[in-house]
Structure 1
Amino acid sequence: MADAEEDFSSLPLPDRFTHKVWKVRKAAYEDAAKQFSVSPSEDDPCFRPFINDPSLWKGAVLDSNVAAQQEGVTALSAFLKYGGRDCCTRTRGHAITPIVEKCLSSTRAATKQNAIEALLLYIELDTSGPVIEEMLPGLSNKVPKNVAATLNALTQVFHNYGCKIVDPKPVLKCLPKVFGAADKNIRAEATNLTVELYRWLREAMKPMFWGELKSTQQTDLEAQFEKIKAEPPPKQERLLRSQQAAREAAPAGGDEGEEDVDDGPEEAGEMDAFDLAEPQDVLSKVPSNFSEQLASSKWKDRKEAVEGLYKVLDVPRIKDGDFGEINRGLAKCMKDANVAVVTQAAQCIELLAKGLRTNYAKYRATVMQPIMDRLKEKKATVADALGGALDAVFMATSLSDCLEDVIAYLGNKNPQVKEGTMKFLIRCLRTTRDVPGKQEITTICESGKKLLAESSPALRDGGAEILGTVMKIIGERAMTPYLEGLDDIRKTKVKEFFEAAEVKAKDKPKPKPPAPKAAAPVAKKVLGGKKPVARKPAATAPATAPPAEPAPAAPKAAAGKVGMPKPSGLGGLKAPQKRALGAPASPRRAPGGPPVMPGEDDAPPPQPKAGLTRGLAGRSLAKPASAAPQMPPDSPPPQSGLTAVERAELDELRAANERLTRQVDDMRQERSKFMTEIQELKNQNAGLIEDHTRDVLSIKAKETQLVRARSDAEATEQVNERLRRELERLKRALSRAEGLGAPPGGSGSPRLTSPTLDEAGIYRDSGAASSNRHRMSFTSTQSEEKENGELLHARTKALSPELRYAGSAASSGRGSPARGFRSAQSNLDDHSESGSAMSRERPGSSLPQPSGNGQESWKRAAEVTSQLKARIEQMKAKQGYSRP
């Protein structure tokens, strides 16, 4: 056995995964899990066989041995934990459905735990949509414990990732079905799932399924909801791989990045009914005479029109359509003299804006100014309805879209309109998620400062609140320029509103400035790098090569000076001459050179420039003629000529360097674009491979079904052929039976006496000479009846009621009349009194037992028996039968 195990361990893992011995498969799952856990990266070769053949995992999670199945699920979890995104996308189509069907409801706790972990890892590596789509069929499983296990797994998914990562709409649609299940465990798990969803969605989830539940179920759920209403908003406990990468990169940019990553899960609880509901077509439900009623001179007709419209629009989400005419009619209602019509029209605008959201932005200009004109109404109910309509319109648009109208109405002459507009602007600043631009902030702050000078205390407080809210958005430091010119009392008031303000917008321009600062040194390095490159061609000239070696510090100074005189050409000429004199004077020409040179180097720059230029010209012309052999590297004349060449080369090199830099940038952009395309192509390739694999498997399944169908068809044809032959045989037998002579009159059963008379007729026609042939025919008929039980059963049913009861009762004994008749026929040659013996052996239980008069039944049975005896005796007499 040990040798066999060593042979098994030498097999490749994919072969051991499919081995017929469960111990070999279990050991293979354990080895695979170890290899995955010690792999250095997700690109390790140990993952490749299982990515190329993802069906191996289907066999692992469906292993018939529970111990091997547990290790198989553990190996799958390790494969997903240490693998990459390809491990998820290539295998989830093969593994999730078997996990839901066989592993979640396993009797082993480790198997269930690892199965749930595998599902969570599938979501962590990619997205939740495909995973939930594969899990939902588990809610329709015929086994109750599988349904309960699937609900438990869904609860764990939402608990770890929340409703922002996992779309709750498909699950909410299935809740009424599971709440209607007969199994109490299913209903209990459905309650747990609903409570978990309520933690994230709150009241927004109810329109999806609440109306389909029973009143008792609603009461129980409300009691559960009350327990968690006081809890803080839930947070995402498990991050996706993409979120983990963002968190790892966040500390490099500062602590703000971590806050941004943490804030994401908190926003998951802000979903509302609009996000969960399906769009509904309300245009078709609007009455056809709506416009006519709205233009009626009777206020009751106008009120009925807007009330009917309100009922139609009262849905969580409205399907987009042409609502232009309706909005124009509602805008006209803002000028209606009846406040009830104005209030109802404002509520209709609010419902439209909330139901259409961003699709309502095109109607903002139609309704916003009429609403703000109506803000002069002093009644609180009307003002609240108008404010709700303005807030809904703002939520459907943005602060930038509404700001122009708001600023215009802040300068309205009517104090009531001005105050209503001011309150609307404050609400906009609190709820907007987009930080206003600098120009918009300037405009808002100027309007707020104007309100500070109003005579009304409410307007002055409103102006301070506007400034304090803006300060909360952009910060105290950025707000300082806008507070100039205000006295200390007003600044204190603004600070008070700043501390109390709550906003949703976050000003994030501060983390961006470090990027240009970090890029600035890079630019300087590039510029500094250009100068040494520009000096190299000049240093490679044969005339200047020797002097460049002994003075290493000179090129640095020269590089700085050559770069300096770009605007003027004279500066470029003087700098090389000054370097040429200063460098050789100290090492070689100190005794022969004039003593004025070192002093002139120390003098201010303007004086030596003029003197050096003249002195250089005289010396360079005189000394080459007299001391040419002693001083071969005369620098002044060549340098004056090389300087112009050097400048030209520098210009060319700079232009070439700029071209190369642009080319490098273009190539980097192209490379990034190509890498993006490559990644997209990889993803498409993976998807195509997955689709191809799925198609191949489906084709194989169809072929298997086709082969089975063909085999079933062939077997059916064989059965039909056999039945057809049997039917033909029965027909021939029936035709022979009907062709024989009719029985004489008697009180016995026709079906029972007919064969007897037929046989008698045969004996009568054939005579004594054919008695043997007749007995053989009768025996063959008996054998055929024994082979075909159905024919015998049919003949028994065709008998008279008395004989049918007798036959059924005698099926387990030996005393039925039919059995006695067959026994008498088969034993004619052996015993002459077999008929009477059969009748004497028949028990009373074999006779018919009708529910009527028992004596009459016994009499009829006795008559049948006597008739059988008489016919048997008659047959014996005709055959000339004699006892041996």
Structure 2
Amino acid sequence: MGDAEEDFSALPLPDRFTHKNWKVRKEGYEAATKEFDNATSESDPVVRQFVSDAGIWKGVVGDSNVAAQQEGLGALCSFLQIASTQGCTRTRNITVGTIAEKGLPSTRPAVKQKSLEALMLYIELDKPDPVIEELLPILSHKVPKVITACLDALTQIYHAFGCRTIDPKPILKTLPKVYGHADKNVRAKAQELTVEFYRWLKEAMKPLFWNDLKPVQQQDLDKLFEKVKDEPPPKQERLLLSQQAAKEAAAAAPAADEYGDEEEEEAAIDLEPEYEAVDVYGKIPKDFGERLGSSKWKDRKEALDDVHKLLDTPKIAEGPFDDLVRGFAKCMKDANIAVVSTAANCVDLLARGLRRSFAKYRSTIMSPMMERLKEKKQSVTDAICGALDAVFASTSMQDCLEEILEFLKHKNPQVKLESTRFLIRCLKTVRDAPSQAEVKSIADAATKLLTESQEVQRSAGAEVLGTLWKIMGDRMMGPHLNDLDEIRKTKIKEYFEAAEVKAKYKPKAAAPPKAAAPAGKKPMLGKRPPPGGAKKAAPPAAPPPTEEPTAPLAPKPTSRPGASKLAAPKSGLAAPSRLGGLKKPGSALAATASPRRPVVSPPPEEVAPPPQPKFAPGRGLAGRPLGKPQAEVQPAQVGAPQAASGLGLVERAELEELRAEVERLRRQNEEVRAERTKLTSQIHELQNQNAQLIEDHTRDVLSIKAKETQLVRARSDYEAAEQTIQNQRREVDRLKRELSRQVRATSPPPTDLAEQIYSDANGTGRFGDSGYSGGGGPYGRNRTFAAQPTSPNGEGKENYDSLSRPGSNLSGKLSPGRVGVGSTKSSLSSRNISPPEGAAGITSSTQAAAGAESWKRAAEVTQNLKQRIEMMKAKQGIGRPPQ
């Protein structure tokens, strides 16, 4: 045995690593650990050997023997410490997945600890992103124990390195799926990881995954967050190799300052960084179009798979993707669903990569995808819906709404339903509230969906209205919901309360500058003298047209008697200056004939105030004083009051008329409103009556159907009863025939026939009254056959003579040919009946006993059959036949 061990130890380390004996492998791992610890640099031959042969480490970390696996993980940690970045990059893709699947879930604590340390070293020696990418698929593993161990390892990794060093977004986006796992241990570890994220990111992390969680899960997490909310900001415990080098290179004081700056930056982690755009267009195969037009679906799918790999990048550089998008649109009509799904996934990636730049391709791809929503395969529908969501995210509601509304009228119910659901998702994710015209279009289309025959389509229409209601509010949606019945309003209300939207309509308030603009412009209108030379002697001759209404008032002496006396000096003193502008007296007369004519221009020196809702006394419709300024009225001060009072009367009359007209319009408006309210109430009443009639009609129809069902059942029961009666009648007939056959077969004794004959002839049954049995049974009356008269001289002589007479009919009945088929050889003589001569009616005692016994059995059978017939007749309700 010692020789064998020496041979094993003499083997090279790679051979011992792959040996079939676990003890040999374990010793090889231990020897390798010592070799790595004793190595001086990564250029050591032992280290270079395992760097070049990196594939051997997969079997080491996944060794089937737990003890050997523990030593193998220790050897890997020693190797990584000496091999540094080169060994890390060469072995990382080979070992990380195996460590997560077979090392972390181990029941041995030492194996778990060394597995975690190996992952830490992989992150520390290079960069964390490749390790996280290898661990992400483990979160979807089919074994819950593996997922639990991976989540625990991620928690410790983020606790050691922090969220600034390791990007938390990939894990945060995966958390909702983990929270939906059936295993409670998985959900518990997911909560621990989320709390660790909260220590670093606080509330900034919620937009990435919070809305995808259930309300109960959100409440539980909020309780856990409260416990760590007041903790001081965490610090990075382990540094990357690059960070360590930077720290060593810097001086102590600047290093501290820099580290402090890093901590400050760490508190404001950017969760949405800008990715560098990748040029995908140049990498698309040149023969993509030819392969996409192949007659074999596998070739088409392979071409799409190649493009899908190229498009799988966060950000895509702009390019002429028109031909590519047209190819995707053509694939939407492909007969193979695998091709359709892959094309939809490509559109999804391209839209998310180009973002807003994809908007110009929307018209090319959106209609074919929505047309393909008729596919009943759920996986295809999900892929197309995801692509549609990505397309909408790159555009806006204004761009997509018209096309969506067209597909809401599609003849295919599946297309119509999925288009409605797409509209609901658009309303929930849109950032800007739709305009009033768009709201009207959406509301009208959704209202039509409420009348669909399918309940799922009606529910989708109600959800559209409820979501739109959540965005726009009660005032905007009120006119679109008032005409609906209460049942539909209740359904829409449920969706309104449950909807979660990102947009909120805010009505535009009236801009204050617009209301103040007239007030600011009014003084400018009053300051019109500058063009004509304000405050000069000449302008007073120009504004007199404002006094045109005063000229016609002079010839009205009846209203004001003093006006004619004062008019002469006015005309004589100031006629040239005041009448210089009155070149068209006809216009003045026209002004008096039309009292509604407004004042043409304000006085040059007057600055009018802002428009007022009510007319002030002494002011005209233009909001200016009716009288002229004092400086201009000096030449005719006496006539000014007359003009002012006359102008006031005209405008007062006009004002009264306008007020009357306003009052009339108000009354008409109130009447119209009352009429509208009345009609609305009548409409609601008729709708309620219609609903009641529909309900009554439905109830009557159901009642009629119930009666028809009862009638059908009654008919069925009647037919079954008729059939039973027919069967019973046939049974009675069969029993009668059976009785006749039995009577013929058993050759009924003469005594029975004689009894019938005697009872028919005499009505007293003298001979038959004797009975057959000696007891008091049911077939006799306690008489014996021996008691019958046997002598012709006795009581039964006549009967006996009638029986024994050769020419008698009774003797014929008792003859062998008339008794029955089964008794052709029997006769009265064979029954030991001889002419009774006193007591010698029977020749011998043995023959008499045998005959009596035979007759007794026949009588019992006959009576038994008679009773059965009577019982069946009584049961069937058949009347007794005459005896």
Normalised by the shorter chain, which TM-score bucket? Answer: 0.3 to 0.5
TM-score where L is the length of structure 1: 0.36
Q: Which of the two has greater helix per residue?
A: 1
TM-score where L is the length of structure 2: 0.36
- Which of structures 1 and 2 has the bigger CA Rg? 2
